[in-house]
Amino acid sequence: MTYSNYFTNSKSKPLMKAKRTLRLNTLILTLFLGILLNPSKSEACSVLYYKDLVTGKIYAVNAEDYFLDVDAYIQIEPKSRKKFARLWYGWNNFAQGGINEEGLFFDAAVTPEQEKIKGYGNPKRNLGDKILAYASTVEEALEILENEKIALNKSHLLFGDKKGRAVVVEWVKGERKLHWIVDNKLVMTNFLLSESNAGNYPDFRYKSILDRIDELESSGEEINLNKIGNTFGQAVQPARKDENNRVGGTVYASFIDITDNKFILSYRLSNEDVIKLDLAVEFAKSKRQKIKLKEVFN
């Protein structure tokens, strides 16, 4: 699968349709966690943080896999005196991933269950929103986790910022484990980097992303958001029914140019149902925005 149609400036009918629909919701289109608490068989997630060593530009990509009937949406919170402006995506008032005006990105992925750590626990509120509201760097995000006594026993988190710092944080065998970015890329799927024997490994999605990045870098071609997005071509999950006839797959895939504040989201792997946002414009607005994906693309 390729994502070339997501990144063009063309006046195609699909893009114009999305623009008209969003205008009805008083939104302005411009050119531009996995589930943390209740994992199920249909859940999967692939996340990439990437820094182009030639240009220094930083990108993040996510494929969110769950049941397709979930009421997913994008929430954009305005800046306040103490909180950063931020965008997150998810459902049920819970951020599965997102980015803030300082360029801090996060996403999450379900992992094999671990024993809970005494004195720590899973979040009871919208942890992702809080981190994006108050943290500007990876280190500040990790500090919030510690202050809140958070230790996820069914998930891990990837944080990356505008300075090129990125880390996957896991809680395994009673300890917090940090896996910092090596060279210029950090990939996270659904196995524990600290304990691959726990399950979900080997993972073809993880390998496919790394293989495609290697091919891209070896080609000598100019790297951009389009080409980084295409490294997920084999990592997304086509729609399929489970044993209860409930359809699951990739609910949405997000593509973020962290350096230039560009955000793209494709709903249900569609080249037509696409949202493109200029984050600098959206973060400058004074009112909260909620983009309900089912309503925009019905």
pLDDT higher at 38 or 195: 195
Closest CA to 187 of 48, 76, 52: 48
Contact 250, 64 (CB under 8 A): yes
How far lies 151's CA from each of 38, 186, 231, in Å? 15, 21, 30
**Per-residue pLDDT at 286:** 97
**Per-residue pLDDT at 242:** 92
* pLDDT of 293 higher than 90: yes
Q: In the predicted model, what is the mean pLDDT of residues 275-290?
A: 98
**Per-residue pLDDT at 96:** 97
Q: In the predicted model, what is the mean pLDDT of residues 34-60?
A: 76
pLDDT higher at 1 or 235: 235
d(CA 65, CA 86) in angstroms, rounded, equals: 22
Confidence label for 290 from pLDDT (cuts 50, 70 and 90)? very high
The distance from CA 79 to its chain's CA centroid, rounded to whole angstroms, is 21
The domain spans of the chain are: 4-296
d(CA 87, CA 262) in angstroms, rounded, equals: 12
* pLDDT of 158 higher than 50: yes
* pLDDT of 23 higher than 90: no
The distance from CA 253 to its chain's CA centroid, rounded to whole angstroms, is 8
* pLDDT of 263 higher than 80: yes
* pLDDT of 24 higher than 70: no
The whole-chain average pLDDT of the chain stands at 88
pLDDT higher at 236 or 34: 236
- pTM for the predicted model, two decimal places: 0.88
Region 4-296: CATH code: 3.60.60.10
Contact 95, 89 (CB under 8 A): yes
* pLDDT of 5 higher than 60: no
* pLDDT of 210 higher than 70: yes
Q: In the predicted model, what is the mean pLDDT of residues 155-178?
A: 97
* pLDDT of 12 higher than 90: no
d(CA 96, CA 75) in angstroms, rounded, equals: 11
Q: Percent of the chain at pLDDT above 70?
A: 86
**Per-residue pLDDT at 11:** 35
Q: In the predicted model, what is the mean pLDDT of residues 51-65?
A: 97
**Per-residue pLDDT at 298:** 83
pLDDT higher at 56 or 41: 56
**Per-residue pLDDT at 72:** 98
Q: Where are the alpha helices (DSSP H) in the chain?
A: 13-24, 127-134, 138-147, 204-219, 225-229, 279-283, 293-296
Q: What is the 3-state secondary structure (H, E, C) of the chain?
A: CCCHHHHCCCCCHHHHHHHHHHHHCCCCCCCCCCCCCCCCCCCEEEEEEEECCCCCCEEEEEEEEEECCCCCEEEEECCCCCCCCEEEEEECCEEEEEEECCCCEEEEEECCCCCCCCCCECCCCCHHHHHHHHCCCHHHHHHHHHHCCECCCCEEEEEECCCCCEEEEEEECCEEEEEECECCEEEECCCCCCCHHHCCCCCHHHHHHHHHHHHHHHHCCCCCHHHHHHHHCCCCCCCEECCCCCEEEEEEEEEEECCCCEEEEEECCCCCCEEEEEHHHHHCCCCCEEEEHHHHCC
**Per-residue pLDDT at 7:** 56
Q: Percent of the chain at pLDDT above 90?
A: 85
* pLDDT of 15 higher than 80: no
Contact 263, 256 (CB under 8 A): yes
Burial of 294 (0-12, 13-18, 19+ CB in 10 A): middle
Q: In the predicted model, what is the mean pLDDT of residues 199-223?
A: 97
d(CA 120, CA 99) in angstroms, rounded, equals: 25
Q: In the predicted model, what is the mean pLDDT of residues 261-285?
A: 97
